[in-house]
Structure 1
Amino acid sequence: MIPLLLLSMFTQPAMTANAETDLGLTVDAAILIDAESGKILYEQNAETSLGIASMTKMMTEYLLLDAIKEGTITWEQEYRVTDYTYKLSQNRALSNVPLRADGSYTIRELYDAMAIYSANAATVAIAETIAGTETEFIKLMNKKAKELGLEGYKFVNSTGLNNADLLGMHPSGTGAEDENVMPAKSVAKLAYHLLKDHPEVLETSNIPKKVFREGTDDAIKMENWNFMLPGLVYEYAGVDGLKTGTTDFAGHCFTGTAVRNDKRLIAVVMKAVDSEGVGSYKARFDATAKLFDYGFGQFSNQEIIPANYVFKGQKTIPVTKGKEDKVNIAVKDSLSFMIKSNEKDLYVPKLVLDKKEIEADVKEGTVVGKLVLERSEGSDYGFIDGSELTLDVVTTDSVERASGFSLFFQGIGNFFGNLWGSVTGFIGGLF
């Protein structure tokens, strides 16, 4: 007979990613970062690839805004509706603005529909405009993802829909049931670079409501699916973006951004559920609000290391063949990032020199090593772009090379110094 205790080990339900955390989040994954520095403030299961649904559209937005900046696409450019986008747009069970089979639409109209209303056919129309076909557009998505250093991603379409919803017209080379996936960390990294490279995205993502083709027979009211925007049901002060996502596979997801007192945060939640384990719009916005409350309430930007910082234990480094036998060293730049107000003293600077000594001629500003910042206790999540808590250590003076005559006598001094050291060492060894 199996002992009762041992049996219970097999029969108890496994812990899931939805388990309560110290922030009370019931999500499959979450991450919170400082939008300015990319410092990660919190993460939960952030490196597991999960469904991203319409958060995919952030990549489509990125590529469109790239094309606009490069001048290969213009806002006034007209798109002629294809059979694919026409048929897809007629499915109102999906998020869509219906397109006329014989219609043409400006890129600005399609972009607004995508960014505000998450319109799927409009998104495919943008992909076709940029790359000719959605199949070719996926190649651009993968290329950009690689450039940005994203990991764990898989793109099978431009929208984030399940391929099964694409009426058998899904991109070639992808499966009929495929769906886009990415870890929360990569989603946050995509949003981080989108805001850095194209901050104008917020000019559209912050619009709560707009009418598509206002004043025409095709006019349709579009309400932003980001219900945390001003005037909407889960309004949160400072929220102005960025992208929601919902499918059966991905659950209720959201990449949100908010700014308060010049401090901008980016939060990602994936497959959010309520206390009963049921996914909903409210669940994802509640989880996001908890992340924002945590970030705005407990973190502030602080200078950890000032510029020209000097290590008390080593203010100089030896110099050989120089007019001086040492040179002053200091940290070149300052280091500031967002941390909890009471954790500044947990970060301890450590000096790591490239060499124990350097040879003259030494120029001011020569890099001789690194300041490495180590945390004495607890975890530091690092930065979203993978950068480290390091600063260059440089020389703060110049040391000219000694003349040949001086080097001759230095050599003699070193010879007899080494000889005397060997003799005293030998004699000492006798006793």
Structure 2
Amino acid sequence: MKYSFGHNLRLLLNQLNQHRFYTAVCVVGTAVTMAFVMVVVMVYDFRTADVAPETRRSRVLYNYGTQCMRPDGTNMWGYRGLGPTAFHAFFDDLPGVDELTFHGGLRKAVCALPASSDRHSVLIRPVAANWFEFFRYDFLAGRPFTQAEYDAGRAALEKADDEWRSVRNRDDGVVRRFVVISEKLAGELFGGTAEAVGKQFLLDFQEVRVVGVVRNVSSIFQTAYADVWEPFTLIYEENMDPSTSTGGLIGFHYTVLHLSSDASPDEVRAEVNRRMEQLNKQGLEYILQDPRLYTHTEYTFFRDGSIHAGLVYGLLLVILLVVPAVGISGLVHAQMQSRLGEIAIRKAYGASNADIIGRLFAESLCTTLMGGVLGYALSCVLVVAGGTWLFGTGGVELEGIVLGSDLLLRPTLFLTVLAACLVFNALSVLLPAWIAVHRSISYTLTGGE
């Protein structure tokens, strides 16, 4: 006899209601398991997926530090950014790279309105002229700085005459400092995004003008994140250590390379190493070693180790799924013992083993899905509450972390929840159900006598 979907659903819900304690234990157990599984999935997904503003993660290489020393091994600078000489030698017309950009790292600064005593601590990132073309920021007001505004930074500073400061202001009254700021900072300083454009404020006690405001960027985006983005030219690299001391080999360039579709990271690394060897043969006072080039996954996880991040997270997921599934499988097996009479009667009335296993699987799947949805909600709470220690790596010091709905509520994550629920359900119910249906009817009805 065939029944409608609605009838089968009512039977399923009625069956779950008859075993409330078992249902509650399975839902809570599944929820806790799914929460920990989804925290692992979310951390890996947030840190590696192509998500705005870092939409090119799967095809980028990061140059995050190169070692510099004299040929005899003395005067080692350690791992620092590249100076202009090495930057152009390494990356100009580099085969396999269709676009590159660079930044000067992330540093803390203090900002305030000219007539205000309120101070705001911000994170500032000097960036290349094409930074806002390479990354996909959402401009709420204004625009990126133009090439002319970017170039104006070269004339904004000059060498100082005293030993305490490496640069000083030109005082001809011409504004040469243009910045892009975050939505949050625009609200704190000017009360809104539109109000901020064209206004001036003090950044490390130097006057700057706002040309654009972007939507807040979560600090899980290690490279794109900042409160203030200023032209890289304001660093005045050519007249500052370590660039002046090393002949332009070491400086403040941290490069991001976007690989062409037919290029591999190893090929690009090999070419950069070849160019480094050529540069080292020019008889300069310093030489370079180990130009670190990381893929995004390498850059994010186990940066200086030989551990494969995907394998580590895969094994962790297996452990998180299998171990609890074994425990719940024992609970399911015990619950099956109380239903052996019911199973035997169904078999006596002609139900096949596949039909019975399917019904038991559907009952378990229902509780698993309820636990999965609850676990997903719990995982969102966990990653938001524990975001600082879960994501606070990669050179970004965090006091808090913002995870918007665009990160937490994504179709891929929902599909991952569903897939994890199916795997967990299969692991926990199929074996006990198979054992139960393969008991003989006479053995079951007589209680094994």
TM-score over 0.5 for the alignment? Answer: no
Q: Which one has the bigger helix percentage?
A: 2
TM-score (norm 1): 0.26
Q: Which one has the bigger strand percentage?
A: 1
TM-score (norm 2): 0.25
